[in-house]
Amino acid sequence: MGRLEGKSVIITGAGSGIGRAASLLFTKEGAKLIAVDRSEAVKETVAQVRKAGGTAEAVIADAGSEKDVIAFIDKAVSSFGRLDAIWANAGISGGLVPLAEQTVEHWQEILRINLIGPFLAIKYSMPHMIKQKYGSIVCTASVAGLKSGASGHPYAASKAGVISLVQTSAYSLSGTGVRINAVCPGLIETGMTKPIFDNARERGTDGKIGQLNPLKRAGQPHELAAMGLFLASDDASYVNGQAIPVDGGLTASMPYAGKPI
């Protein structure tokens, strides 16, 4: 049996990158999945899951919209009878805008998706999990939320907020049987980071990608998906309130500043 055999799971940001890799891995391990993304690409994710013999339904929704979050959580419960795990993975980068040129609207949109989205996922999934005295909530943070120098100001602030939200929520959920953890990706090759990789390849410096971490390479979405699977499964039954870097060892020293690739 798979590690998520028969479990009902939601993954947001499932249209590409880490979310798509997680969707394929979770369903391979037996999960029944509601795959959520605001892009039509989530339909391709579900098509790939079904081709591999998995169970999944696509929902096009905004992970930062309260109405949409309520709806896709209710869909998981109505479709599968319960909700065992949710991975609040959807996020946006916001780019590298100079501090003096950033606008309130720019900050608000990044915080809406990256931080309010996970809050909503927690708020509306936990009643179902508390009722059954079991559940796992996973949120995607970032190494940028641990220390400075890895991304732009609003993105880093939003991910630091996710880490704090996970830690404080773990204590709010004390005694309920519900666990909550964060994964903190380092440099992973996804649609969000594509400009970094493309620019390096155009300059002929792609050999430097990932050279700041001890593994001397960038990560791949399936490597994040594997950590999410562990946290969502009963294998992580005593892991709670943690923010776990998956970064090739980068945060062991965090040598970002002044060393662009």
Q: By residue range, what is the domain housing residue 173?
A: 8-192+220-246
Residue 210 in any domain: the answer is no
What are the pLDDT digits (tens) for 197-214? 656 566 765 666 657 788
Residue 2 in any domain: the answer is no
The pTM (predicted TM-score) of the whole model is 0.92
Of the chain, the percentage scoring pLDDT greater than 90 comes to 73
Catalytic residue among 124, 134, 155, 238: 155
Based on the residue annotation, tell me whether 155 is a catalytic residue of this protein. yes
Give the sign of the dihedral formed by CA 172, CA 168, CA 59, CA 189: negative
Length of the chain: 261
Confidence of residue 150 (pLDDT cuts 50, 70, 90): low
Residue 208 in any domain: the answer is no
Statement: residue 121 has pLDDT above 70: yes
Number of domains present in the structure of the chain: 1
Q: For position 158, which CATH number holds?
A: 3.40.50.720
Q: Cα–Cα distances in Å, from 21 out to 16, 29, 30, 37, 56?
A: 8, 12, 15, 14, 14
Alpha-carbon gap, residue 142 to 140, rounded angstroms: 7
Statement: residue 36 has pLDDT above 90: yes
